[in-house]
Amino acid sequence: MSKFSNNKVGPVVPLMIVGVVFFMIGFGVGISGFLTPALRSAFNLTTGQSYLVTAAIFSAFLIFGRPTGWVIKKIGYRRAMMIAFFIMALGMWLFVPSSKAVSFPLFLVALFVGGIGNTLLQGAVNPYITILGPEDTAAVRMSLMGIMNKLAWWMAPLFLGLFIDLAKVDVNDIILPFYIVTGIMIILGIFVYFAPLPEVKAEGEDEEEAAESSYAAGKTSILQFPHLLLGVFALFVYVGIETLPMASIIDFARATFGDIPNLENYSKFVTLGLVAGYIFGVIAIPRFISQQKALISFAILGIGSSMLLIYLPPQYAFYALLMISFSNSLMWPAIWPLALKDLGKFTKAGASLLVMAIVGGAVIPLIFGTIVDAVKTTEQAVVANYQTAYWIMVPCYIFILYFAISGHKIRTK
């Protein structure tokens, strides 16, 4: 499926370097997540206003997702990663004047700028790791990257804890750590530029080789690939249902167990499930199961776990969220290679559409919250309200199951 433009470097070294890139993506997301409570406290935000924090990050994927394909096509994957780190560094640096001015709009600008960098980085690094090696092991490489990503998410609060009191965050305390993170991003950008990262190309991606990719030959628009469009929607709903447990687990735990100490520790359940699934993917694919069959199996498991979450008594239903996060783990690694298959010279443009689908992480949780508010009959939502709203996950898993079974094969019909 791929070829190196420089045959002096094998896939192992680039894999290690891209692992660092995925680590920093997770690190940035982890830091942003721990900033949200500080912003709510510092600016006395309402619940509705707090959604602006999520919207500022995810709107960048929607607005700049498509242009990233053009940028990557012009300058290549390696330079795109370098520029992405520089943009993310600018976003991190903007947190400093935002803190000094105690300006919520400037914080939103900083989050949006960081989101632009993240969009470009995701648009470059995901297709790169997908076509870096054999097609049937793409999910394995993506699973390894997922482990690095979630490891960084765990380490973000440990890093911040060296400088600030996580139990009572003051926006003025984040200045020093964000200066440090800005410097790290700049150094990483320079490192990626000089690192031995060969440009890789999908089969038929060269203009002169387009005819060799029979499916892409004669196509004039990225919209002429129905399996890609189905993959974009599959990724949209997937990112939504992956984000939903992270966004709702604390509230669901509070409704289930009451205001017990250290409720925030329950958020680790979601990450544990994801990492367990990634490890399974590394071990099992393709040795025991293909990435397509893994996607089918995990989609079915997701449907079953959702039904348990909805119908089991609360104290047991809560732990179904762990099963759901396990179900979600192999979906991102499996959807990408199936959606990008046979795109030829349109591979980078296809990747940009898939990056736009990340906005599902803002849309699905917002719909979930709207359903909770619509069905609750008391001021505070109860467990039954959350269980009713979790129905939104079922059609999402059903569509992913359809894509895994036949949607990605529509190009062959």
In a domain, 2, yes or no: no
Amino acid of residue 31: I
112-126, 238-252, 318-332: range with lowest mean pLDDT: 238-252
Q: Tokens 């089991």 — which residue?
A: 312
In a domain, 190, yes or no: yes
CB atoms within 10 A of CB 121: 26
Tell me the residue range of the domain where 176 lies: 8-199
In a domain, 205, yes or no: no
- Whether residues 238 and 175 share a domain: the answer is no
- Whether residues 174 and 236 share a domain: the answer is no
For the segment 66-86, the average pLDDT, to the nearest whole number, is 88
At residue 45, does pLDDT exceed 90? no
- For residue 286, the domain's CATH number is 1.20.1250.20
For the segment 314-320, the average pLDDT, to the nearest whole number, is 83
320's tokens:
């179904």
13's tokens:
């070294």
- Whether residues 263 and 388 share a domain: the answer is yes
Q: Could you give the angle at the alpha carbon of 321 between the alpha carbons of 227 and 31, nearest 5°?
A: 80
Residue 287, helix vs strand vs coil: coil
- Whether residues 187 and 287 share a domain: the answer is no
Q: What is the largest CA-CA distance in the chain?
A: 66
Phi, psi of 379 (to 5 degrees): -60, -40
pTM, 2 dp: 0.81
177-186, 187-196, 264-273, 356-365: range with lowest mean pLDDT: 264-273
In a domain, 208, yes or no: no
For the segment 388-412, the average pLDDT, to the nearest whole number, is 91
CB 120 within 8 A of CB 84: yes
- Whether residues 187 and 256 share a domain: the answer is no
In a domain, 1, yes or no: no
The pLDDT tens digits for 179-215 are: 888 998 899 899 888 888 777 766 655 555 544 456 7
Amino acid of residue 383: V
CB 139 within 8 A of CB 294: yes
> Would you call 166 exposed, middle or buried from its count of C-beta atoms within 10 A (0-12, 13-18, 19+)?
middle
What local confidence, expressed as pLDDT, does residue 167 receive? Answer: 61
Q: Tokens 């914080």 — which residue?
A: 107
- Whether residues 144 and 70 share a domain: the answer is yes
What local confidence, expressed as pLDDT, does residue 55 receive? Answer: 72
In a domain, 362, yes or no: yes
Domain final position from 172, 199, 226: 199
Residue 208, helix vs strand vs coil: helix
The pLDDT tens digits for 244-262 are: 887 777 778 878 777 666 6
- Whether residues 173 and 305 share a domain: the answer is no
At residue 87, does pLDDT exceed 90? yes
- Whether residues 282 and 149 share a domain: the answer is no
- Whether residues 80 and 190 share a domain: the answer is yes
- Whether residues 139 and 281 share a domain: the answer is no
Q: Domains in the chain: how many in total?
A: 2
In a domain, 310, yes or no: yes
Residue 10: closest CA among 145, 131, 133:
133
In a domain, 209, yes or no: no
- Whether residues 105 and 171 share a domain: the answer is yes
Which of the four pLDDT bands, split at 50, 70 and 90, describes residue 33? low
Name beta bridge partners: 202: 2
More confident residue, 226 or 168: 226
Which of the four pLDDT bands, split at 50, 70 and 90, describes residue 224? confident
CA gap 9, 12 in Å, rounded? 8
Residue 284, helix vs strand vs coil: helix
Domain final position from 133, 167, 199: 199
The listed range with the strongest mean pLDDT (55-64, 128-137, 298-307) is 298-307
CB 349 within 8 A of CB 69: yes
Domain final position from 168, 199, 230: 199
4's tokens:
């190196």
- Whether residues 353 and 262 share a domain: the answer is yes
> Which residues, including other chains, have CB under 8 Å from residue 22's CB and lie 6 or more apart?
125, 145, 146, 148, 149, 152
For the segment 394-410, the average pLDDT, to the nearest whole number, is 93
Phi, psi of 148 (to 5 degrees): -60, -40
Which of the four pLDDT bands, split at 50, 70 and 90, describes residue 169? low
Which of the four pLDDT bands, split at 50, 70 and 90, describes residue 124? confident
In 131-258, alpha helices (H)? 138-161, 175-194, 226-257
At residue 118, does pLDDT exceed 50? yes
Which of the four pLDDT bands, split at 50, 70 and 90, describes residue 390? very high
